[in-house]
């Protein structure tokens, strides 16, 4: 022997690059000690490895083996254990020629030899606690390719032996996938997934490639194997023709879909229970079924590849900026640019770059500052002047209350223009019909004025029952029914139904914000969402961190607007700010400041002053914007 001598761990075989001799353990002993092949050679191997030569066999007891792609686990065998394992396999392989079991299962000599299938004349084994079983009689030994593992099928168990199953696994080892290397090696483009080892060998015997699960319930090992290392082969699922096999087929398909592994389901067993039974009873029909399944898998792979090529082309055309330019330039030449939707608050529209665009706008404020009144007036302006549909999702106020606010504003305009004695009419008087009968005609005219644009206002009400999913569905239904893209208003964010009851309020809020952002982007519409401020912001100047329960708002929204009482600047002490807040909250006319804290489509920071008439439910914009920098 020379330094050119090499042992291959994957096959437990050797090759000498000097003398070109090769073989397995028995071949090595024969060459080194010049022993003829046969019983003398086996006796010598048994003596070297300490294996019994009295006609009985046992599985070497081992600890768990190291995790591999086949699903086996634990630490590897010691060199002594591995040597005994190999000797046991070789001994059983020699015994195979004295029995016809594998031939009776339809397997060829080539398959029997290639997969080292063996026979034990009188099999026994040791349990984990070291206890020896009785002699269990003739047994088939089916080794696993490339790994030190095998299973045992008892063929002629003595009648006096009770309590031992005919299917025995190696002691101390979880059962791995049989022939798992087929998922990644070989020239085959498809691999059958079957239950038993003999089923897999039946496919192999016809020139195919197959992996055996060991049992249908072991399908999770296949999925985990593919999670660790994906395959480029198309899998052909062909489990047993029974309820268990069909049930686990569905589970395998579900797992493969999640991993995007190409696969088909094919019944190659026909009327028989499993592939091996089909091979035994009708080899020709079984061979045709296998070929048909392979052809179907090949077609599936070609279609998948074509789709991938289409996806690549679609990816380029959908995502490359160059491919988008022609349509963009055509819109510019035709004057088809995105037009803003005016809120009719002139200063605000100017700071927003002309009005509202497709995107997410968040308007936040402390309680009682007029958030709902402000966004409702904005919605009415858009509907009245712009003739634009508005979907108003009210999660706090009833539809009747919102309409009363709008009518109150319309009445105030009539009273001012006609110099009526009662200039203001609050929503409570309208809802309870307790106003002076003298002004009833003016109230009716206010309702009529509101009705002229109410056909563009759609109100959905619900406290805690409206989710972002329902909002998306409603918007899509509106577009399908009317052909018009609406402006969407959510009043307000913190009352949306949570997307996941197991998440925190902040996590649900962040999820809602992302969903609303996605709605605005995908449908190309403005989404205006009202948000409350945290308690820490009640007596401080508004800032990015004021919005309650979400850090995601400041990152995801296109425009963040805050409403606060005027003069609530950071230069004031907290005590002075509290005095201002209390004074304003008790006033019928409140001086409000609107801050633009973030704006992707216009001025990034601005302040605009408003007077909030609480009786008339109206915001009146100051004629001049206050562009004093934030402090």
Q: Where are the domains of the chain?
A: 5-169, 180-301, 346-604
Residue partners of 329: CB distance under 8 A and separation at least 6: none
Taking residues 444-450, what's their average pLDDT? 96
Q: How far apart are CA 394 and CA 488, in angstroms?
A: 11
Please tell me the predicted confidence (pLDDT) of residue 108. Answer: 94
* Mean pLDDT lowest among 213-217, 227-231, 435-439, 473-477: 213-217
Taking residues 239-265, what's their average pLDDT? 90
**Mean pLDDT score across all residues of the chain:** 84
User: What's the token pair of residue 630?
Assistant: 């934030």
Please tell me the predicted confidence (pLDDT) of residue 38. Answer: 57
* Residue 207 DSSP symbol: T
Instruction: With a cut of 70, say whether residue 135 has pLDDT above it.
Output: yes
Cα 191 to Cα 108, 194, 307, 394, 523: the distances in Å are 20, 10, 21, 57, 44
pLDDT grade, residue 57 (50/70/90)?
Answer: low
Q: What is the pTM of this model?
A: 0.52
Q: How far apart are CA 376 and CA 383, in angstroms?
A: 10
Taking residues 42-63, what's their average pLDDT? 55
CB 74 within 8 A of CB 62: no
Instruction: With a cut of 80, say whether residue 387 has pLDDT above it.
Output: yes
CB 360 within 8 A of CB 368: no
Please tell me the predicted confidence (pLDDT) of residue 167. Answer: 82
Taking residues 215-232, what's their average pLDDT? 90
Please tell me the predicted confidence (pLDDT) of residue 571. Answer: 47
284/19: higher pLDDT: 284
Dump pLDDT digits (tens) for 403-422.
999 999 999 999 999 988 88
Question: What proportion of the chain, given as a percentage, has pLDDT over 90?
Answer: 52
CB 157 within 8 A of CB 133: no
Q: How far apart are CA 112 and CA 109, in angstroms?
A: 5
- What DSSP element (H or E) covers 560? strand 559-565
pLDDT grade, residue 626 (50/70/90)?
Answer: low
Taking residues 582-605, what's their average pLDDT? 81
Taking residues 136-154, what's their average pLDDT? 92
- What DSSP element (H or E) covers 333? helix 321-334
Torsion of CA 607, 609, 613, 618, to 10 degrees: -60
Cα 625 to Cα 60, 370, 523, 600, 602: the distances in Å are 88, 20, 32, 19, 15
Q: How far apart are CA 50 and CA 260, in angstroms?
A: 49
- What DSSP element (H or E) covers 351? helix 346-351
pLDDT grade, residue 279 (50/70/90)?
Answer: very high
**How many CB atoms sit inside 10 A of residue 284's CB?**
7
* Mean pLDDT lowest among 10-14, 156-160, 199-203, 477-481: 10-14
Please tell me the predicted confidence (pLDDT) of residue 16. Answer: 82
Dump pLDDT digits (tens) for 488-506.
999 989 899 987 777 778 8
Please tell me the predicted confidence (pLDDT) of residue 515. Answer: 93
Instruction: With a cut of 50, say whether residue 54 has pLDDT above it.
Output: no
Question: What proportion of the chain, given as a percentage, has pLDDT over 70?
Answer: 84
* Mean pLDDT lowest among 117-126, 212-221, 222-231, 497-506: 497-506
What fold is seen in the domain 180-301? Dna Topoisomerase Vi A Subunit; Chain: A, domain 2 (3.40.1360)
User: What's the token pair of residue 353?
Assistant: 């770059």
Q: How far apart are CA 144 and CA 150, in angstroms?
A: 5
CB 375 within 8 A of CB 528: yes
- The partner residues of 7 in beta bridges, in order of sequence, read 14
**How many CB atoms sit inside 10 A of residue 606's CB?**
23
Please tell me the predicted confidence (pLDDT) of residue 331. Answer: 77
Instruction: With a cut of 70, say whether residue 307 has pLDDT above it.
Output: no
pLDDT grade, residue 335 (50/70/90)?
Answer: confident
Q: How far apart are CA 302 and CA 278, in angstroms?
A: 29
Instruction: With a cut of 80, say whether residue 145 has pLDDT above it.
Output: yes
86/605: higher pLDDT: 86
Q: How far apart are CA 255 and CA 332, in angstroms?
A: 48
pLDDT grade, residue 572 (50/70/90)?
Answer: low
User: What's the token pair of residue 578?
Assistant: 């509290």
Torsion of CA 546, 552, 556, 557, to 10 degrees: -30
Instruction: With a cut of 70, say whether residue 538 has pLDDT above it.
Output: no
Instruction: With a cut of 60, say whether residue 334 has pLDDT above it.
Output: yes
Cα 13 to Cα 22, 90, 109, 147, 151: the distances in Å are 7, 12, 20, 13, 21
| Domain 346-604, CATH homologous superfamily name and number | P-loop containing nucleotide triphosphate hydrolases (3.40.50.300)
Taking residues 83-110, what's their average pLDDT? 93
Q: How far apart are CA 87 and CA 50, in angstroms?
A: 9
């Amino acid at each position: 022997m020379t330094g050119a001598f090499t042992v291959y761990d994957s096959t437990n075989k050797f090759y000498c690059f000097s003398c070109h001799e090769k073989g397995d353990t028995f071949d090595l002993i024969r060459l080194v000690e010049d022993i003829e092949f046969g019983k003398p050679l086996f006796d010598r191997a048994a003596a070297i490895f300490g294996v019994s030569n009295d006609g009985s066999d046992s599985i070497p007891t081992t600890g768990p083996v190291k995790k591999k792609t086949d699903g086996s686990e634990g630490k590897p065998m010691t060199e002594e254990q591995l040597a005994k394992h190999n000797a046991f396999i070789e001994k059983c392989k020699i015994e195979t020629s004295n029995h016809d079991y594998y031939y009776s299962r339809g397997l060829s000599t080539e398959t029997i030899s290639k997969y080292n299938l063996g026979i034990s004349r009188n099999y026994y084994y040791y349990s984990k606690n070291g206890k020896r079983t009785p002699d269990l009689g003739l047994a088939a030994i089916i080794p696993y390719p490339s790994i030190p593992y095998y299973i045992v099928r008892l063929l002629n168990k003595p009648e006096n032996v009770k309590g031992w199953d005919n299917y025995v696994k190696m002691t101390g080892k979880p059962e791995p996938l049989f022939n798992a290397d087929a998922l990644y090696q070989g020239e085959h483009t498809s691999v059958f997934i079957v239950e038993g080892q003999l089923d897999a060998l039946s496919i192999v015997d016809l020139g195919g490639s197959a992996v055996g699960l060991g049992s249908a319930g072991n399908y999770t090992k296949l999925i985990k194997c593919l999670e660790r290392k994906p395959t480029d082969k198309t899998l052909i699922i062909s489990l047993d023709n029974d309820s268990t096999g069909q049930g686990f087929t569905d589970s395998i398909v579900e797992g493969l879909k999640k991993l995007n592994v190409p696969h088909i389901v094919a019944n190659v067993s026909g009327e028989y229970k499993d592939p091996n039974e089909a091979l035994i009873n009708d080899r020709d029909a079984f061979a045709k079924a296998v070929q048909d399944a392979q052809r179907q898998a090949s077609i599936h792979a070609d279609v998948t590849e074509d789709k991938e090529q289409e996806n690549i082309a679609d990816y380029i055309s959908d995502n490359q900026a160059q491919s988008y330019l022609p349509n963009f330039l055509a819109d510019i030449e035709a004057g088809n640019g995105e037009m803003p939707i005016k809120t009719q608050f002139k200063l605000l529209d100017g700071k927003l770059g002309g009005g509202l665009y497709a995107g997410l706008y968040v308007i936040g404020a402390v309680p009682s500052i007029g958030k709902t009144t402000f966004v409702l007036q904005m919605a009415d302006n858009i509907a009245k002047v712009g003739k634009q549909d508005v979907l108003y999702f009210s999660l706090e106020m009833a539809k009747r209350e919102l309409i009363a606010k709008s009518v109150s504003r319309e009445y105030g305009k009539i009273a001012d223009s006609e110099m009526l004695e009662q200039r203001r009419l609050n929503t409570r008087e309208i809802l309870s019909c307790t106003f002076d009968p003298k002004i009833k005609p003016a109230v009716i005219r206010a309702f009529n004025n509101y009705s002229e644009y109410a056909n563009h206002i759609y109100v959905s009400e619900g406290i805690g029952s409206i989710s972002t999913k329902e909002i998306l569905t409603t918007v899509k239904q509106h577009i399908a029914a009317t052909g018009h893209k609406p402006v969407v208003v959510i009043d307000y964010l913190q009352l949306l139904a949570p997307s996941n009851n197991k998440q925190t309020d902040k996590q649900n809020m962040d999820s809602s914000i992302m969903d609303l952002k996605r709605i605005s982007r995908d449908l190309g519409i403005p989404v205006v969402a009202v948000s409350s401020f945290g308690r820490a912001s009640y007596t401080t100047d508004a800032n990015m961190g004021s919005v309650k329960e979400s850090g995601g708002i400041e990152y995801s929204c296109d425009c963040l607007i805050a409403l606060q009482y005027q003069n609530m600047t950071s230069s004031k002490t907290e005590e002075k700010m509290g005095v201002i807040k209390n004074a304003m909250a008790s006033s019928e006319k409140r001086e409000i400041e609107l801050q633009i804290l973030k704006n992707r489509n216009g001025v990034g920071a601005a302040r605009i002053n408003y007077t909030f008439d609480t009786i008339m439910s109206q915001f009146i914009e100051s004629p001049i914007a206050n562009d004093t920098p934030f402090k």
